[in-house]
Amino acid sequence: MADELIAVKPEIAARAHVDAAKREAMIAAEAADPDAFWRNEAKRIAWMREPTKIKSVDFTGDISIKWFWDGELNASVSCLDRHIAAGRGEQVAIIWEGDDPATDAKVTYRELHARVCKLANAMRRLGVKKGDRVCIYLPMIVEAAVAMLACARIGAIHSVVFGGFSPDSLASRIQDSACSLLITADEGRRGGRRVPLKANADEALLTCPTIRHVIVAKNTGGAVEMMEGRDHWWHAITEGEGESCEPERMNAEDPLFILYTSGSTGKPKGVLHTTGGYMVWASFTHQNVFDYREGEIYWCTADVGWVTGHTYIVYGPLANGATTLMFEGVPSWPDAGRFWQVVAKHKVNIFYTAPTAIRALMREGEAPVKNHDRSSLRILGSVGEPINPEAWLWYYRVVGEERCPVVDTWWQTETGGILISPLPGAVAQKPGSATLPLPGVKPAIVDGEGRILDGAAEGNLVLLDSWPGQMRTIYGDHPRFGQTYFSTFKGMYFTGDGARRDADGYYWITGRVDDVINVAGHRMGTAEVESALVAHPAVAEAAVVGMPHDIKGQGIYAYVTLKAGVEPTEVLRKELVAWVRKEIGPIATPDAIQWAPGLPKTRSGKIMRRILRKIAANETEGLGDTSTLADPGVVQELIDNRVG
């Protein structure tokens, strides 16, 4: 079943931007003259000065990646002004659908431009300048897109922090990039509940001396405290501002945003994206992968707090003049038909979501889907984690009625946009495979020593060359950038993912090969959860691994060693779960905690995670070599007391 080939549909190919022949031609053109190819693709965005220098990349030594590096532009002009100039001012840019099904709103390009300019002017008045960092901690409301574009307008670097993160997680991200302004809201709404964003922000700001001003959007009207001199209501501070604002001239390599993401070790890294290459990549991939055509309604269900929201709710669709739908709610509320009710209500043509949502909805049966008209749908997309063939086929058959191609898009925060995915008019799909690289993308599979494997093979997924949307550095820590991505395999970008390539050259992503886990499409460093656990006074040591989870893909399994004299009780277990939620946020909630009097360690003291992963997955048959363990007895003890 997994190798079932789903052919390109002739009716899709006939009018696609890219059919099979075009795809071949693009690959050949890029191979023959990359500079000419990308110089031409760069024309898809608006430049104040067109680039003549196209690509300068070195994956060795200090690592240097530059694209379009004498070009000048402003990202917000590509997303707003030029569409108005082209007569599309009255077209809807953003459809906002509220958590409460009775609420929605439509914002035209002209209105969006005005709102962005007013906020940008207010920010300038507060003293925010080009290069300053601005933290955005907002729910899924139109203001989130306005805030991002207003930062871009004045050349400030935005750092969006997911609204589900705790005060501590927010504070450490603000501190790392020394943000001077925070933009937040009174409260958010999700699944009928309220999220106390301003209260969280107040707590975070106790340890963030660099923040001079806070702009607060009034969303729910819930009561909040406003600190005199520091906090400003959005509506009040923008009220008297003009509806135009001179866009800052940015070099293509000036930063556009920072987005924190989890890695194997240490605290989250500030992934830095710059302006020109990122915008070209966002536009190129959004148009070609979703085969976006003018007038279509496009909906990506991600949150703007993640990279998917940056590239495929805001920058990609707006650069292409699309109508992008922003959804404040969750798939399961008020009922399991919500996604499809929204599709029917707004006549969505392109729908992009995560496997975890598909699996959760699949469990509810076909009725909630079939109760709603989905005839507007043309293309379906998946992102964030491997999609199992069963979920893929359900999405294809039940949701898309075998009419809509499914594009399984593989990419990362670091890659800025999609790298491996079918092009719906050009590439036959296989359920569960991200299929083939986009034109210009050069993946390879290497073994543990970095040897490139040819043909059908399985190993580590790397990229041999750059693409315009690639991250440029880790904010404030360029050595860590080289260390994290370019030192495992010399001269190659290492993704942290494992992959298999079949005889047709199709890629099957097998998941992370490092200590990152993927919980419901959210990236989580096991080290982060461990450090949250050991911060609790009762905990001596903790080791966290991923375990298979039917809906979430992976769940969080924690082995906890208590301090001497502390009793392992059910009350304490619940307390530790609540503790991690409070320290990091609800997305880090452990699914299982096992009391571990001892952890399997090598004689040099290194925890053998391979063994812990196997026990968590209940695959205790072939545990492999345990002879290097300091105390082999702990393994049996852990097996006997496995949780769940």
Of residues 448, 592, 437, 584, the one with CA closest to residue 523: 584
First CA to last CA across the chain, in angstroms? 30
- The piece of 140-148, 300-308, 333-341, 370-378 that touches ligand WTA (CB under 6 A) is 300-308
Report the SS3 class of residue 294.
Answer: coil
Cβ closer to ligand WTA: 76 or 421?
421
Choosing from 232, 501, 523, 601, the residue that interacts with ligand WTA (CB under 6 A) is: 523
Radius of gyration for the alpha carbons in the chain, expressed in angstroms and rounded: 24
Closest distance to ligand WTA from the beta carbon of 385 (Å): 5
Cβ closer to ligand WTA: 269 or 378?
269
Report the SS3 class of residue 516.
Answer: strand
Is residue 518 within the footprint of ligand WTA (CB under 6 A)? yes
Of residues 189, 83, 79, the one with CA closest to residue 139: 189
Task: Give residues 425-484 in contact with ligand WTA (rule: CB under 6 A).
Answer: 434
Closest distance to ligand WTA from the beta carbon of 264 (Å): 12
Cβ closer to ligand WTA: 77 or 499?
499
Residue 417 · residue 316 · CB < 8 Å: yes
Choosing from 383, 391, 576, 588, the residue that interacts with ligand WTA (CB under 6 A) is: 383
- 202: alpha, beta or left? (left if phi > 0; alpha if psi -120 to 50): alpha
Choosing from 386, 469, 546, 585, the residue that interacts with ligand WTA (CB under 6 A) is: 386
Q: How far apart are CA 250 and CA 256, in angstroms?
A: 9
Closest distance to ligand WTA from the beta carbon of 535 (Å): 25
Of residues 619, 630, 561, the one with CA closest to residue 593: 561
Phi then psi for residue 531, to 5 deg, are -70, -30
Task: Give residues 392-431 in contact with ligand WTA (rule: CB under 6 A).
Answer: 408-413
Cβ closer to ligand WTA: 155 or 496?
496
What's 449-476 look like in SS3? Answer: CCCEECCCEEEEEEECCCCCCCCCEECC
Residue 378 · residue 350 · CB < 8 Å: yes
Residue 509 · residue 497 · CB < 8 Å: yes
Residue 372 · residue 337 · CB < 8 Å: yes
Cβ closer to ligand WTA: 37 or 410?
410
* Residue numbering of the annotated binding site for CoA: 190-193, 308, 581
Residue 279 · residue 315 · CB < 8 Å: yes
Is residue 528 within the footprint of ligand WTA (CB under 6 A)? no
Task: Give residues 303-322 in contact with ligand WTA (rule: CB under 6 A).
Answer: 306-308
Closest distance to ligand WTA from the beta carbon of 313 (Å): 12
Task: Give residues 495-514 in contact with ligand WTA (rule: CB under 6 A).
Answer: 495-497, 509, 511-512
Task: Give residues 94-113 in contact with ligand WTA (rule: CB under 6 A).
Answer: none
Closest distance to ligand WTA from the beta carbon of 325 (Å): 19
Closest distance to ligand WTA from the beta carbon of 379 (Å): 15
Dihedral sign computed on CA atoms, order 539, 544, 550, 551: positive
Cβ closer to ligand WTA: 252 or 300?
300
Spatial neighbors of 18 by CB under 8 A, at least 6 apart, are 26, 288, 291, 423, 425, 426
* Residue numbering of the annotated binding site for ATP: 384-386, 408-413, 497, 512, 523
Number of residues that bind ligand WTA (CB under 6 A): 23
Is residue 284 within the footprint of ligand WTA (CB under 6 A)? no
- The piece of 383-391, 451-459, 481-489, 594-602 that touches ligand WTA (CB under 6 A) is 383-391
Closest distance to ligand WTA from the beta carbon of 130 (Å): 27
Choosing from 132, 231, 385, 515, the residue that interacts with ligand WTA (CB under 6 A) is: 385
Peptide bond just before 334 cis, omega within 30 deg: yes
Closest distance to ligand WTA from the beta carbon of 230 (Å): 32
Q: How far apart are CA 234 and CA 120, in angstroms?
A: 11
Please give the C-alpha separations between residue 416 and each of 174, 307, 308, 472, 568, in angstroms, as whole numbers: 21, 7, 9, 10, 44
Q: How far apart are CA 77 and CA 322, in angstroms?
A: 15
* Residue numbering of the annotated binding site: 190-193, 308, 384-386, 408-413, 497, 512, 523, 534, 536, 539, 581
Please give the C-alpha separations between residue 307 and each of 120, 358, 482, 570, 619, in angstroms, as whole numbers: 22, 20, 21, 37, 34
Contact positions vs ligand WTA (CB under 6 A):
261, 306-308, 383-386, 408-413, 434, 495-497, 509, 511-512, 518, 523
